[in-house]
Structure 1
């Protein structure tokens, strides 16, 4: 029976745990996105577009601080041979907690210069307050990483959804009461507190405490130094478009772009979430270069994942403009063509997203960094050139070009572990071109309007 068969789904094998974890992760992600969508529909009517543009900047900055200091603790616990050792876990927890406090200090120091750079004086007060969530997340228990290590994600997913639901309800109540961007700031911190409290209370496993083991710290930092550099590069890959576009556009227009980005990013975020949570354990326990059977098992999984994500892109691209008209008021209409273009331009990333984790599973964080760095440089360069040449339309097309230019490096990295599957890539490249042609034909007038300067 295949990895997706009922027997393996119910068992304790790697295949069963992978399928269950994928389903839990996918279900939790879908629920999370529905919650975000529902909260956006309500909050966009209670608040103003500038509030969402301002919070998008705050999110970019906080994500940048997080990535610029990632020590690779979660990945190390998931993949390291000492991932069950209490001293190793305590040391990882200590590193994470110290990092959270230091990140908040840096956020406070950056608030004033960044308020000048983005011409947003509100950042002086809002950024330090929002960054309190970094201290909170610093004391998240290592039990979360241990659950990921063993592909036991059911309870973790449920707790995430429950805490996000409570956070959304708090945000809506505060927005109705305060009519201010501070509703989003306060609710974000409270949601982090709720999530960490739930993880401490309801996840089984090792009771973390502050402890320092020199050998464990050495092993964590040795693995983590390349993860640290990779996440810096990863920040620019995930946020580079908004860093540059936020600098070129007004806060109101940037808020509209982020509405389009939120809806278009569903398949990309879903794929990366599943790959990040599920693939490291799979690659660790069933290396594709070890046997043909392992490779074919991964091919079946990869085919299903990519086909599902490409189908979502096709549906989202066709319905994007209608969704914006149905869900949002006239102020956000220009988000429609943004959805169509972004969904199409991310197809190269969708095709390649199941390869990255193979390097981390075998401890090759150095070459993983090489790929992340190349992607970051390529994305920033392509988006900047696109902005200079064709404004917002050029920036979006630049994201697609960056994905294409990065593909040879993805192949180089994935061949080292035996993970590269040219049949998969060729098949979905052809299907991706077909989807692109259909979407561009169907929405040509709206794309032309965006090119003429709709934003």
Structure 2
């Protein structure tokens, strides 16, 4: 099978996995939002940063090193597994004993037990990450889909049952633990790969030299991105943390489905052609235009339909989260540009530049937090959008060094790709602004009317002007037909 067909097959299976995973998660979160109070979601939001850091540290970026390796063998996989597992156990013990101090920081005594149970997920994740990495290296995404969907269905069902039985925030914690256990069991029976506790020092040095910079970048990014619930919980209230995390979850549904579908395939694909800069640039350009077209259209549509969407799905109790959600959706438009420019640096082995870029981006985020936190949550979230735009420019600057895709050329592609969506958004938004009537009985009508109007105008613009985005989609459609 050609590399192009492998990529298309991978995207197909990954889309099923990501869409299915996000759909299950989305439905589960809607049900849980009606069974669990915002304050309970807020408690979990306060400790997500510690779990995010733990997962980054336990992997140390070495799984990505395995994916970009030319021919990793059993010693490579076993070495990385052994280190990941040892580090994850150490981190669990660290969080276990520091949990009381974290609870004292928030003045929330309940967090001690929550942290001690939730942190065990770090250890569980280390048990299946290498099996998943092996499948990714082989571009075998069908097995990953067959593991992910049953695990999420089982954990989602567990969470709903526990929430119905008034477990509150513990329903969310146990749901995540069940996900990890289920994935570990399923991946074992799928791959039948049993790691040996063996460390090859030469291979460890090779993967660590690449991975530690990716890990540091990931830790800094996760700390700063997850620091927002921490700051909101410290200076505002648990309910506001709940609103923020709910807005973030709703924004992440389309973003993760679309971007991760492509990214899981794109990174190993880029790794295969990393030495051919012309082919690499061509592949990058096509993927970025496609993902940007889809994601920008979806995000603009969500901004327009935010109020009836939240009112219909979550209930009026969650309407205060709407402004947070709309601002975060703006940030979501930049995600593909940031992600794929970063992938260029990683496949080229320039994790030093990747780390440097992350450091500057996170310094800007911290400055943004310091300057805006005293003015309220809205300015605080807006600072994320501004920094995301600056980070996009930094990413483009560094990636251009390797694939000759400069800022002005990327800007033209981005502008042409997003302009139809911006025009459609402006027209529908103007209509809503002058005819705004939010009533619970009209949620369904408004959602359909706003969504249909935006989609129709967008489609007409692309057809009339025969945009490159439409041509890329048609070329993929033709390839799918040829394959079938």
TM over 0.5: yes
* Correspondence 1:306 to 2:292: yes
Q: Which residue of 2 aligns with 1:376?
A: 362
**8 A contact 1:375–1:402 mirrored in 2:** yes
* Correspondence 1:282 to 2:269: yes
Q: Which residue of 1 aligns with 2:99?
A: 111
**CA offsets 1:55-90 (integer angstroms, 9 cap, x no match):** 12232221122234541121011012342x111111
Shift of 1:169: 0.6
Q: 1:387-406, aligned counterparts within 5 Å?
A: 387-389=373-375, 391-406=376-391
Query: What are the ranges of 5 or more consecutive residues in structure 1 without an aligned counterpart?
Result: 1-11, 448-455
Distance 1:436 1:426, change over 3 A: same
Normalized per residue, the structure richer in helix is: 2
Name the CA distance, whole Å, in 2 between partners of 1:435 and 1:321: 18
**CA offsets 1:232-275 (integer angstroms, 9 cap, x no match):** 22213532333323322210121122111111223432354235
Distance 1:419 1:346, change over 3 A: farther
TM-score (norm. length: structure 1): 0.88
What secondary structure sits across from 2:403 in the alignment?
A: coil
Name the CA distance, whole Å, in 1 between partners of 2:87 and 2:155: 24
**8 A contact 1:344–1:436 mirrored in 2:** no
Distance 1:267 1:154, change over 3 A: same
Name the CA distance, whole Å, in 1 between partners of 2:404 and 2:422: 24
**8 A contact 2:139–2:265 mirrored in 1:** yes
Distance 1:442 1:240, change over 3 A: farther
Name the CA distance, whole Å, in 2 between partners of 1:304 and 1:361: 21
Q: How many residues matched?
A: 433
Q: 1:331-342, aligned counterparts within 5 Å?
A: 331-342=317-328
* Correspondence 1:424 to 2:409: no
**8 A contact 2:48–2:226 mirrored in 1:** no
Shift of 1:178: 4.2
Match of 1:78 among 67, 70, 79: 67
| 37-46 vs 318-327, greater mean Cα deviation | 37-46
**8 A contact 1:324–1:333 mirrored in 2:** yes
Name the CA distance, whole Å, in 2 between partners of 1:295 and 1:180: 49
Q: Which residue of 2 aligns with 1:5?
A: none
| 232-241 vs 319-328, greater mean Cα deviation | 232-241
Query: What are the ranges of 5 or more consecutive residues in structure 2 without an aligned counterpart?
Result: 437-484
TM-score (norm. length: structure 2): 0.83
* Correspondence 1:245 to 2:240: no
Q: Which residue of 2 aligns with 1:411?
A: 396
Distance 1:388 1:437, change over 3 A: farther
Cα RMSD (Å): 2.6
What secondary structure sits across from 1:192 in the alignment?
A: helix
What secondary structure sits across from 1:179 in the alignment?
A: coil
Q: Which residue of 2 aligns with 1:158?
A: 146
Q: 1:13-412, aligned counterparts within 5 Å?
A: 13-83=2-72, 85-140=73-128, 142-203=130-191, 206-287=193-274, 290-291=277-278, 293-389=279-375, 391-412=376-397
Q: Which residue of 2 aligns with 1:450?
A: none
Shift of 1:437: 4.7
